[in-house]
Chains A and B, each alone.
Chain A
Amino acid sequence: MSRIYLPWNASKARLREAENARKNRAEIVRELSWGRVSRRDLIKMGLFTAGGMLAPIGGLNPFVKSVYGQMPTGMPPSPTFGCQSFSQPLPRFDVLKRNPVTGATADTLVSCLDPMPTAMANQTMQAVNPALGGGFGPIEGRPPGAIWAHQRFNEFLPRVAVEAYQAPATTNYTYNPQVASKYNSGINQADGMPLRFHSGMPIQNPNSVWTFNGTIPPKLVIGRYGEPILFRHHNRLPADQQQNGGFGRHTISTHEHNGHHGAENDGFTGAFFFPGQFYDYHWPIVLAGHFSFNQTPTDVFMARTPNDAGGTDPIPGDWRETMSTHWFHDHMFSFTSQNVYKGNAAMFNIYSGIDRGAEDINDGVNLQLPSGNSRFTGKSWGNLDYDVNLLLADKAFDRDGQLFFDIFDFDGFIGDVMTVNLAYDPYFEVEPRKYRFRILNASVSRFFKIALADANGNAQPIIQIANDGNLLPVPVTLLELDEQGIAERYDIVIDFSKYSMGTKLHLVNLCDHFNALDAKLDGKKPFQDLTMAQALGGATPDPCVGRILEFRIVRPLSYTDNSQVPATLIPNPDLSTVPLARTRVFEFKRDAAQTTSDPVSSFMGPWGIATDDGITLAADYGRVSAAPKFGTREIWTLRNGGGGWDHPIHIHFEEGQVLARNGSAANVPAWEKGRKDVYRLRPAGDITITMQFRDWGGMFMEHCHNTVHEDNAMLLRWEIDDGGTPFLRPLPTPIPSPQGVTFRSPDDILPTAL
């Protein structure tokens, strides 16, 4: 892959020269885009190739930006210290320890957690670091009181406790991939693993990367249905907010995406906690419809969770809502992207009777997807041998090779160094059989489009089995996956059995973010999707396009491959029995005009609800006057009003089904026919989904991904009034401080307007 940018240690004079050249180049493309000069002219001038691409003239550097150039903020290219691609093994995820919790009531819980978890936030006081204002403050950062208590704590008593510490970068001495070294490309887990992206790159300073336990590889939580988890997250970040390596905020709030639980455990953006505190997140792990769904005998047979004896136990709810692959990450208001980029991201595999992680068990429920053989491993669920989590993230470094982020790039930050599981361009050793990969896009703005290439650059089939962590109704075989937006998870199966020993294949990214018109990497949306030939041939200067992960067939099978990819996976929930209450249209725009003749300025924010008189309103509490009714479903059309952006919209709390794209069901591709929670709007597109409202009748979080919260003090909750009608009720907003949480009502009117 050609890289037409300057080496990282280029002299100042060279950089200056390059900056001038880049400025000239930018002027050229600008003139071209405005039609003041034609392509023919440019070719004649030797500035364009015949193919229409900007010629790679020496000294032209697309990434070195001048302060006075057209680009808002500038960064030089990230140094890669001469590290070669595919020269280090892919480190598999580090599994967080599951500790048992016993006890029959909330008051008699026994676990390793100290203090014991409580339904309401623990308000025991401790001294607060003077850097945070001194005095005393509570040990748990969760807002106090009944509203923020774990809902139904007594019904869903935690049975597993997982603890983690958000901490500055350090070496990992307790790496547990929960697989033998051969399944981990020969990595010896007993070796200490310092935090760096490649053994040839500098070790990251403590405040360059902040992550779970301060270590790599990224962390994995293993869970199963019917076994509630209490996740205790300690904040061990520096108390002095200045010590942050130039980006990131030491207050955090952890969102488990897309758990079906109340907002007190959802990581509300305003319920953040401080260094020195912890926050208990209670993840009940229940099927949607837990309280409301009437199970037929078939449902009873299928709605199961694996037990330790190799069998299954029944669970309530609709088995068609089984979820498999989640992730959790920071959700701190105004700092989410900085903190997630800095390392606050992890994954969560959820096992069920259908998807139990044991490919040999054939009990009429288990789909036998690639995972591991329980007779060889001794584990009847949750085998990871052939079930691999992949975290894709683009990064950037400063001149010293330390992680860097442009905090003023509110349009979207695109990095120029590709990492998989936070390792730079790694390789992964495989056996000639089926593997499952759970691919998460953990970038902050970059979209990916994944394909598989053999040694000759020919696309190889990939079977997509899940979208947003939900198994599809039927698997879909593709030569390239759909564009994958931030937070989307695609589970795929690759069958390596037809390749001979020693073969190498590559996972390839086809999604190009280099905006040739602006001559820079563009965070607003992908610029184009390339063909395999273009991506492998270096058609774009985007360094994260092309080969990103190498597979090497290195050894024969450890045991026979009993795994399957059945013809049907999980059928969609049957909607015909759920009454349709209403339809709504939500329109997203940045600052473009709306459909009426009155121009609208952007403060209306991303959410708008179209009404009968055709005017788009901002969605806020005052307008959602008719609440979704419990036990019904609604059809929402999400429309992207502004062509300049591609929005992945994430709706918390419930999975929805895609009914139509741009008005027609025929436009819904096969891999989107399942349940999703992140919906790509695509520039100027619209998508129609159906969603149900049930169970945790609790908080509906007003959610906003990358952009500014208009009403970030707004938290709403579904309630039922005396007449049985659900309505939206606003709650006092928590205002956390190190000395404790106060509450404020969102309509707080000042006594005088003057």
Chain B
Amino acid sequence: MPMNTLGISGSTVRAAAASIAAAWLVIAALYSTPVAADNARWGADYFPNVTLTTHEGQTVHFYDDLIKGKIVALDLIYTTCKYACPLETARLAQVQRVLGDRVGRDIFFYSITIDPDHDTPQVLKEYAEKYRVGPGWLFLTGSAKDIDLISKKLGLYSEPDRAANPDGHTPFVLIGNEATGQWMRNSALDNPRFLATTIGEWLDSWKTAKKPAPVALHADDAVLKLDPGEYAYASHCAACHTVGRGDGIGPDLRGVTALREREWLTRFISTPDRVLAEGDPIAQALLAKYKGVRMPNLSLSRMDASLIIDYLAKQDGEGAAKPAAASASAPANMPGPPVDLKVMIDAYLRIQQALNADSTDDVMNNARIIATESAKIGSRASAVRSAINPFAQVKDVAGAREAFGKLSDAIIEHARAVDAALGDDINIAYCPMAKKYWLQKGTTIRNPYYGKQMSDCGRIVADAAIQN
């Protein structure tokens, strides 16, 4: 074997070289891995990966299958709960309906039982069906020890106090985005639209929100007139009941104030568990009819119950079921003060002229002006507001032209809706090749979609019938 001057055999040198090379590869690999997000600490190293069973009988790992890379909403329940769980589950079902088919696609709901001895997968399946749970929402059971661990790691754990609060759990819903490491604890009983906005849009900074982000702004919002009884009904009852629209998870309450005695109703609303425990025949019949879904005890006092009963009576008195008190979001063509669109249209025309000259000069600035004007008008200009948004990220003439078509439609439609004049010598024009409309000054065609290439292509139209 050849020896070098140091007396080290060549094979040793080769072996050493190989291991050094290997080490370099490892080091290179380490340095080339992308820098992890700041919040990588709330990931595989944090969440337990215990095994759970779904209500469909499937075995899953908590972190790998349920949490990793997902947006989740998670709560703790047990099916024999007499208190908040029924309302909690009904509420989350409402949130699921608002979020639509996003649940199961990029948002996942999980309800984990804290009573695994009783709540087998079959029991959980029946419970889920009672509450009309949609796909993408798993009910889970497992070993008590594993579930305790999960609940502690997630900050949902609550020490059971044998005397006072045997169930030891709280109606929190943990909402989180594992990829970004943002986790927050909310109430599962909150306004479902608010929860849906929080889970679906806010949590991910509007990146996964429905595109384009429709924003109905309100330059001025009126104060509300809320009836206390209506509010009490909405926040406690509406998740499971309707008035005149048929049975939900619980019975339709139309006519209930005439059907039942007031005293019974008062007791049943405030302490339904006690009424049932006393063997009350009506309560038992209801329980059987509604598939064992219990009316929850929500600590309503007699005064609260009174408010709700009066509200229900009023609904009956006024005939058919009324929709809820007008919510604050106004429809797009509410009458309002006359609108002067001059500033907006002047800015629009400057964009049109720029595009006609194949340039994007000042497009951004003028788009900003249009956005500001439409914000001032408020909700009636929400279509314009939506249409102007893409201009904020426009990079070239092609992109600007793409957005310009929709903007033109929106402004024309808006002017029509608020019955405002477009302005002196402003005409609507149509380009048959691009199949789009635009506004311009004068009658000499200056096509913004084709610019210098075909500046005179198009014709003035007397009355634009917008075709979608």
**What residue in chain B is nearest A612 (Cβ atoms)?**
B303
Q: Contact: B328 with A245, CB < 8 Å? A: no
For the complex, give the distance between the alpha carbons of A249 and B168 in Å.
Answer: 30
Q: Which of A244, A719, A744 contacts B194 (CB 8 A)?
A: A744
For the complex, give the distance between the alpha carbons of A747 and B298 in Å.
Answer: 18
Q: Contact: A613 with B301, CB < 8 Å? A: yes
B172, B182, B274, B298 pick with most chain A CB within 10 angstroms: B182
Q: Contact: B206 with A737, CB < 8 Å? A: yes
Given contacts A125-B372, A754-B132, contact A617 B209 (CB under 8 A): no
Contact of B307 with A by CB under 8 A: yes
Q: Contact: A621 with B302, CB < 8 Å? A: no
For the complex, give the distance between the alpha carbons of A742 and B149 in Å.
Answer: 40
Q: Contact: B39 with A242, CB < 8 Å? A: yes
Q: Which residues from B are CB-within-8-Å of A72?
A: 152-153, 155, 157
Q: Which of A73, A130, A746 contacts B231 (CB 8 A)?
A: A746
Q: Contact: B224 with A732, CB < 8 Å? A: yes
Contact of A683 with B by CB under 8 A: no
Distance of A104 from chain B, by nearest CB (Å): 26
Distance of A643 from chain B, by nearest CB (Å): 10
Contact of A592 with B by CB under 8 A: yes
Distance of A111 from chain B, by nearest CB (Å): 22
Q: Contact: B42 with A407, CB < 8 Å? A: yes
Distance of A741 from chain B, by nearest CB (Å): 7
Distance of A16 from chain B, by nearest CB (Å): 15
Q: Contact: A719 with B223, CB < 8 Å? A: yes
Q: Which residues from B are CB-within-8-Å of A131?
A: 205, 207
Q: Contact: B301 with A603, CB < 8 Å? A: no
For the complex, give the distance between the alpha carbons of A721 and B298 in Å.
Answer: 32
For the complex, give the distance between the alpha carbons of A710 and B114 in Å.
Answer: 22
Q: Which residues from A are CB-within-8-Å of B90?
A: 753
Question: Could you list some 22 contacts between A and B, CB below 8 A?
Answer: A72-B157, A123-B217, A135-B389, A135-B393, A136-B368, A136-B389, A144-B217, A147-B223, A241-B180, A241-B182, A242-B37, A398-B41, A591-B168, A592-B161, A601-B171, A710-B187, A713-B194, A740-B375, A742-B329, A745-B327, A747-B325, A750-B238
Q: Which residues from B are CB-within-8-Å of A622?
A: 228-229, 231-232, 235, 304, 307
For the complex, give the distance between the alpha carbons of A599 and B183 in Å.
Answer: 30
Contact of A730 with B by CB under 8 A: yes
Q: Which of B38, B229, B303 contacts A207 (CB 8 A)?
A: B38
Type the 1/0 row for B41-67, where 1 means its CB is closer than 8 Å to any CB of A.
Answer: 110000010000000000000000000
Type the 1/0 row for B167-184, where 1 means its CB is closer than 8 Å to any CB of A.
Answer: 110111000000111111
Contact of A246 with B by CB under 8 A: yes
Distance of B189 from chain A, by nearest CB (Å): 6
For the complex, give the distance between the alpha carbons of A266 and B155 in Å.
Answer: 29
**What residue in chain A is nearest B85 (Cβ atoms)?**
A601
Q: Which residues from A are CB-within-8-Å of B38?
A: 207, 242-246
For the complex, give the distance between the alpha carbons of A621 and B182 in Å.
Answer: 31
Q: Contact: B217 with A745, CB < 8 Å? A: no
For the complex, give the distance between the alpha carbons of A212 and B307 in Å.
Answer: 48
Q: A144-B220, A730-B224, A747-B235 are in contact. List 14 more A-B contacts (CB 8 A).
A: A135-B215, A135-B389, A145-B219, A244-B39, A599-B166, A601-B167, A603-B171, A611-B303, A710-B190, A737-B201, A740-B215, A744-B194, A748-B327, A753-B90
Q: Contact: B271 with A592, CB < 8 Å? A: no
Q: Contact: B157 with A754, CB < 8 Å? A: no
B155, B234, B301, B376 pick with most chain A CB within 10 angstroms: B301
Type the 1/0 row for B349-393, where 1 means its CB is closer than 8 Å to any CB of A.
Answer: 000000000000000100111011001100000000100111111
Distance of A706 from chain B, by nearest CB (Å): 11
Contact of B297 with A by CB under 8 A: yes
Contact of A378 with B by CB under 8 A: no
Contact of B13 with A by CB under 8 A: no
The interface size of chain A toward B, counting residues with CB under 8 Å, comes to: 99
For window 196-226 of chain A, which residues contact chain B by CB distance below 8 Å? 207
Contact of B11 with A by CB under 8 A: no
Type the 1/0 row for A715-754, where 1 means its CB is closer than 8 Å to any CB of B.
Answer: 0010100000000011111010111111111111111111
Contact of B276 with A by CB under 8 A: no
For the complex, give the distance between the alpha carbons of A738 and B207 in Å.
Answer: 11
Q: Contact: B83 with A601, CB < 8 Å? A: yes
Contact of A127 with B by CB under 8 A: yes
Q: Which residues from A are CB-within-8-Å of B371?
A: 125, 136
Type the 1/0 row for A320-338, where 1 means its CB is closer than 8 Å to any CB of B.
Answer: 0000000000000011000
Given contacts A207-B38, A710-B190, contact A591 B165 (CB under 8 A): yes
Distance of B93 from chain A, by nearest CB (Å): 9
Q: Contact: B217 with A742, CB < 8 Å? A: yes
For the complex, give the distance between the alpha carbons of A604 and B201 in Å.
Answer: 27
For the complex, give the distance between the alpha carbons of A572 and B412 in Å.
Answer: 64
Q: Contact: A73 with B155, CB < 8 Å? A: yes
Q: Which residues from A are CB-within-8-Å of B220?
A: 144-147
Contact of A616 with B by CB under 8 A: yes
For the complex, give the distance between the alpha carbons of A226 and B72 in Å.
Answer: 50
Contact of B226 with A by CB under 8 A: yes
Contact of A536 with B by CB under 8 A: no
Distance of A611 from chain B, by nearest CB (Å): 6
Q: Contact: A752 with B245, CB < 8 Å? A: yes
Interchain residue pairs A-B with the least CB separation, the first 3: A135-B389, A133-B206, A72-B152
Q: Contact: A601 with B165, CB < 8 Å? A: yes
For window 77-125 of chain B, which residues contact chain A by CB distance below 8 Å? 83-84, 87-88, 90, 94, 97-98
For window 274-309 of chain B, which residues contact chain A by CB distance below 8 Å? 274, 297-304, 307
**What residue in chain B is nearest A742 (Cβ atoms)?**
B216
For the complex, give the distance between the alpha carbons of A746 and B391 in Å.
Answer: 33
Contact of B213 with A by CB under 8 A: yes
A601, A616, A709 pick with most chain B CB within 10 angstroms: A601
Q: Which of A124, A593, A713, A750 contacts B98 (CB 8 A)?
A: A750
For the complex, give the distance between the alpha carbons of A621 and B216 in Å.
Answer: 26
Q: Which residues from B are CB-within-8-Å of A611?
A: 301, 303
For the complex, give the distance between the alpha carbons of A634 and B298 in Å.
Answer: 28
Q: Contact: A743 with B218, CB < 8 Å? A: yes
Contact of A600 with B by CB under 8 A: yes
Q: Contact: A242 with B181, CB < 8 Å? A: yes
Q: Which of B149, B191, B376, B390 contacts A746 (CB 8 A)?
A: B191
For the complex, give the distance between the alpha carbons of A241 and B228 in Å.
Answer: 38
B38, B224, B303 pick with most chain A CB within 10 angstroms: B38
Given contacts A72-B157, A124-B372, contact A753 B194 (CB under 8 A): no
Type the 1/0 row for A111-138, where 1 means its CB is closer than 8 Å to any CB of B.
Answer: 0000000000001111110111111101
Q: Contact: B193 with A748, CB < 8 Å? A: yes
For the complex, give the distance between the alpha carbons of A709 and B87 in Å.
Answer: 17
For window 191-242 of chain B, which residues contact chain A by CB distance below 8 Å? 191-194, 197, 201-202, 204-207, 209, 212-213, 215-226, 228-232, 234-235, 238-242
